[in-house]
Chains A and B, each alone.
Chain A
Amino acid sequence: MSRPEGPDGPEAADAETAPAAAAADDAAAEPDPAGSMPLAAEDDDETLAGRAWRRATTIGPAVADVTRHVAHALGPASPYHRHDVIVIALAAAVVAAAGFVHRRLVEPPLEVFETRGLRFTRPATWLAPEEVALVSPRLIATEPPAPRPPGGELPYHVVYTSTLDPEVRMEVRIEDAPTWRNILAGLELDRRTRWGELYGGDPSRVLTIAGHDWLRTGFRYAHAAEKDDEPRIAHAVELATVDRTRLYAITLHGPPRRVERLERMIAPSLRVASHTGMPLVPHSSRLSPSYPPSVARHFPSTVMVVVADVVDGRLRAVGGGSGAVVGADGSILTNHHVLGAGNRLHDVFVIGRFVAIDQPPRLVCAGRPAASKLQPELDLALIKCDLDLDGRPWSPSLGGPLWPALIGARGELSPGQRLWVLGYPDVGGGSLRILQGLVEGFTSEDGTMGRDYIKTDAALSHGNSGGPVIDDAGELVGIATAERRRIGADGTMIRDGLVRPLAAASALLAIVRTGWTPRLGRTSVELEPTAIDAEAEGIRISTRVVDAANSQPVANALLMVLRPGVTPAQVDVNRLDDLVIAWGRSGASGEVFLRQPVPTPGTYTVMVIVDGYVPLIGGDALRLAEGTPPYYDPWGEVRLEAQ
């Protein structure tokens, strides 16, 4: 063979000439008479390496050549173009098919998980389940949860870890069904108090699997595998449901894509033994009525109040209600019965704030009912958060302000007037519910004539308790408190919604205006100091308290002089014994004589508080110089505005 064999076929041969012709221009075709080409252009002294280097530097022409050849090769004129494309496509298809087959081969086999009424399929290659103790809440210091007694049935809590990736875990938790029906808020509380402030969740949604409802919630949390490790963001998806007696929760942890795949594998196979037959998160069948903007303004000031008890070292949500924010300091007015039954107060309350009209509230902070201001006789309570969900001190400046409701000017309500009730009833599917009703009249505690309650036809239900009731003008007029059922004349059941008028809460609102910090044991609304450190010497102060509108004397007004340097912003009704140096109460004639002397010289903040009037707090309102007479009336009279 003395010549290269050309490509087979005319098409290829034609094409072969094209680049050759193109190359001909820059090729100095010098026929070699000897039939052989010279070794090289360079002289013999050039070393092999030197020549290699020189050739390697001619990269520019090489790139140009290669580009030209690629262009030619991809063009239709290339020899065997079509056939080689088929070969390459075939090989690529084999590679892709092999990749698919490989993926199927390495897909872990499945195994059935079945215990305590829960059944699903799981990857068989996971490590053996590890029984773990339930986790103590961060919110409140508790004894660690007791481990399940050997042979004990519930609570059952195990963790499976993937053999592929220790980050991928599956938690299975089975325990007694919660007493509170709002599973949405209950589970949210579980997660929030377990992962604390570094938790972020997506809205839950309901999946119906084999006729049973499951609540699916995706969330993220900060997590450090070991102590002192840099925390990382972990992802998880929780699938939870309740049947007649038990709560089942399966949580998948791991990188989002792995969790997604696991969920696709596990979720469709979830089964529970007994069905309640009831929807997991009951949705209100009625659409919310259209509402005026003045009502919408109150959405952010309507909060959910979840109460929880520590049971076996764990925090369990036991009930909930609503509340109305009444102070920029985060004070919330609610019903006493939301916080406890009878004399027993629940251990903590957690506040959920409004996010959007179609979303459940977000749990943001917590406090203790035992540190709230309570008026059980009126079924009212004033609460305020002082803990975040990690159990650290919380204030609105940290968690973002809670917007106070517009408080009504105590205008008279008349029957037939329209009312709006905002709240988070259990039946509302977790999001804010707006009810509309009419004022039907008034009633007393015992159902007789009286003005203890406003009667309305709004369908109040469990969970509405404590929520704000607003008139058309958008002013807070009362607190939704109770529902009374009676049999009408024709034998039908009539439901009356009972609203506590805002006027009843004047003592609590006075506390809000004065300023307060929750303190354990200080649940009384009584403001009178009990044991103050009186000064031995000073001026005896007296004055007269009158109504600013009609100059009539105001009886029972509490006038207090605070220690020098205490500003109005520092006033805290729970620390009156520390703050007050002299106080007195007005008699029927409005005359006040302070029981303790006030030392001279000095400048003092003065407070006057009385039920039904706007509290008066005057910074530096009392200035006493040397030489002030021993019995002194600095103001002549103190005028109070009615609330």
Chain B
Amino acid sequence: MPAPPNRALPRWSLRRARLLVGSKLALVAGLVVFVGLAWLVERLLGLDGPVRLSPALALVVAGVPASLWLAFFYLQDRHEPEPMHFVAGVFLLGGLVAAPIADFVIYQLAPPVPFAQHGLTPFTLDRIVHAVLVVGLGQELCKYVAVRYTIYTSPEFDEPMDGVVYMMAVGTGFAVWINYHRLQGQGGSVYLSTGAAQVVVTTPAHASFAGWLGYVLGRAKFTRRRALSRGVLLFFGLLGAAVLNGQFALVEQRVTTSGFGTHAWRGVLYAAAVAVAVFAVLMLLVQRLLAESPFRKPEVAAAAGKAVGSDDDDDDDDDDDPDVDDAPVGDGASDRGGGEGAR
């Protein structure tokens, strides 16, 4: 890759700020439009019942919101954005390697138990064990391994915030696989609008669970603690993600079904609530990571030093900081310097 020409830009550019905020807003608007479109198609075609989506269409419905979300998450890392092809690669790794392996292992360990076995009660012990420890932990472990043994060791993973970005990318890829099978499963019959809405909300939910793990992972990589406490931190990070994942599946099912009826929109609302809550907490943590970022401009860091990571204005300023936009090769070189400095 040729070295980028060194062109000094003004660090405070309103145009850049608008571009970044505008991009995020456009992405969220895109997601809303996506659900709206699905709803509109359903109305226009007079689809009263579930439809059978072809594999290609199911892939589009599962993939489009995921791509938008991926772009949204990508923009969170303001100081030292990651190389886009790395993020895309990790996203594919999540969807095409981690998720199928997780599915296979989970199926082998606990083949699905027919509905009649434990009836309608959602919170039986066997369901909790299955949702949290088998499915939840199994899925999060696969996401974790996908990052831990690829990007984690790379020089690109050079600040705690990167853990969140890459894990969210894996989680988003994972969600594509899950949503694709959800749309194709159950005889391939889904309601178009609820199906689309579900995809839109479960994708950030899965990404956020992984993001939580990524936060722990990022912290772990740059911690000064002893190996044992670092291991414990990671393990509880995994367990935490598993609990989030498991409760999400259980409660979503609980609110979706009542008796033999299903209320898909309730599930969507719950999923949205969880996704927003987890994502918001994650963003608070991310603000801390960003505030502590080694790539933060010294001037800005000094300005923000008074109120670390909690000042909204400060964040907006960071958003606009154009100087540290992606330049993977150069960053790699600077990271090398950092690593050696630490030694």
Q: Which residues of B contact A41 (CB under 8 A)?
A: 2, 4-5, 327
| B284 CB-CB contact with A under 8 Å | no
**In the complex, which of the residues B7, B8, B224, B325 contacts A8, with contact meaning CB atoms closer than 8 Å?**
B224
Interface stretch among B152-160, B175-183, B203-211, B256-264? B152-160
Nearest CB of chain A from residue B120's CB, rounded to whole Å: 13
Any A CB within 8 A of the CB of B44: no
Q: Looking at the complex, which of B32-40, B48-56, B126-134 is the stretch in contact with chain A?
A: B126-134
If the complex has contacts A2-B298, A17-B340, A30-B6, are A91 and B238 also in contact, measured as CB distance less than 8 A? yes
Contact code string B69-95 (vs A, CB < 8 Å = 1, else 0): 001000000000001111011000100
| Known pairs A4-B339, A37-B324, A94-B133; A62 contacts B85 (CB<8 A) | yes
Interface of B: prevailing SS: helix
**Does A8 lie within 8 Å of B227, measured CB to CB?**
yes
How far is A30 from B4 in the complex, measured between Cα atoms in Å? 9
Give which listed residue, B86, B323, B342, contacts A6 with CB less than 8 A.
B342
The yes or no answer to B114 lying at the interface (CB within 8 A) is: yes
- Is residue B292 within 8 Å, beta carbon to beta carbon, of the partner chain? yes
Q: Which residues of the partner chain B approach A224 to less than 8 Å between Cβ atoms?
A: none
Taking CB atoms and an 8 Å cut-off, the chain A residues in 25-45 that contact chain B are 26-30, 32-41
On whether the beta carbons of A59 and B129 are closer than 8 Å, the reply is no
- Closest A residue to B155 by beta carbon equals A20
**B23 at interface (Cβ–Cβ under 8 A)?**
yes
Known contacts A13-B339, A164-B117; is A105 also within 8 Å of B294 by CB?
no
- Please report which residues of chain B, range 301-343, place their CB below 8 angstroms from some CB of chain A when the two chains form the complex: 301, 322-327, 329-336, 338-343
Complex alpha-carbon distance, A92 and B139, angstroms: 11
Interface size on A, residues (CB 8 A): 77
CB pair B235–A38 under 8 Å, yes or no, is no
Confirm or deny: A69 has a beta carbon within 8 angstroms of a beta carbon on chain B: yes
Asked whether B190 is an interface residue with its Cβ less than 8 Å from the other chain, the reply is no
Q: A61-B85, A62-B85 are in contact. Are A38 and B234 (CB under 8 A)?
A: no
* Docked-complex contact A7 and B154, CB < 8 angstroms: no
Known: A8-B224, A87-B234, A95-B138. A3 touches B338 (CB 8 A): yes
Shortest Cβ distance from B117 into chain A, in angstroms?
Answer: 6
Q: Could you tell me which residues of chain A, from 64 to 105, have a CB within 8 Å of some CB in chain B?
A: 65-66, 69-70, 72-74, 78-80, 83-84, 86-88, 90-92, 94-103, 105
Provide the B225-240 mask, 1 if CB < 8 A to any CB of A, else 0: 1111011001100100
Residue B145 CB within 8 A of the other chain? yes
Q: B332 contacts A72, CB within 8 Å?
A: no
How far, in whole Å, are A115 and B110 apart by their CA atoms in the complex? Answer: 35
A17 & B149 in contact (Cβ 8 Å cutoff): no
A52, A63, A84 — most chain B CB neighbours (10 Å): A84
Whether A16 sits at the interface, judged by CB under 8 Å, is yes
Residue B123 CB within 8 A of the other chain: no
Check if B148 is an interface residue, CB within 8 A of chain A: yes
On chain A, the residues within 8 Å of B332 by CB distance are: 20, 23, 27
Contact call A98/B225, Cβ cutoff below 8 A: no
A200 to B341, CA, bound (A): 76
Whether B137 contacts A32 by the Cβ 8 Å rule is no
Q: Residue A24 at the B interface, CB < 8 A?
A: yes
Q: Which of A2, A37, A52 has the most CB of B within 10 A?
A: A37
Residues of A within 8 A of B110 (CB): 98-99, 102-103
Contact with A along B1-43 (1 / 0, CB 8 A): 1111111110100000001000100000000000000000000
By a beta-carbon cutoff of 8 Å, the part of chain A in contact with chain B is 1-10, 13, 16-17, 19-20, 23-24, 26-30, 32-41, 48, 51-52, 55-56, 58-59, 61-63, 65-66, 69-70, 72-74, 78-80, 83-84, 86-88, 90-92, 94-103, 105-106, 108, 125, 163-165
Supply 19 A–B pairs (Cβ within 8 Å), ascending by A. Answer: A3-B341, A6-B339, A7-B342, A8-B225, A13-B339, A17-B340, A17-B343, A26-B329, A37-B324, A38-B327, A40-B326, A40-B327, A52-B71, A62-B89, A73-B149, A91-B235, A98-B132, A102-B126, A106-B126
Using CB atoms and an 8 Å cutoff, list the residues of chain B in contact with chain A. Answer: 1-9, 11, 19, 23, 71, 83-86, 88-89, 93, 105-106, 109-110, 113-114, 116-118, 125-126, 129-130, 132-134, 137-138, 141, 144-145, 148-155, 158-159, 221-228, 230-231, 234-235, 238, 292, 294, 297-298, 301, 322-327, 329-336, 338-343
Q: Which 7 A-B pairs have the closest CB atoms?
A: A6-B342, A99-B109, A98-B133, A36-B323, A41-B4, A105-B126, A55-B84
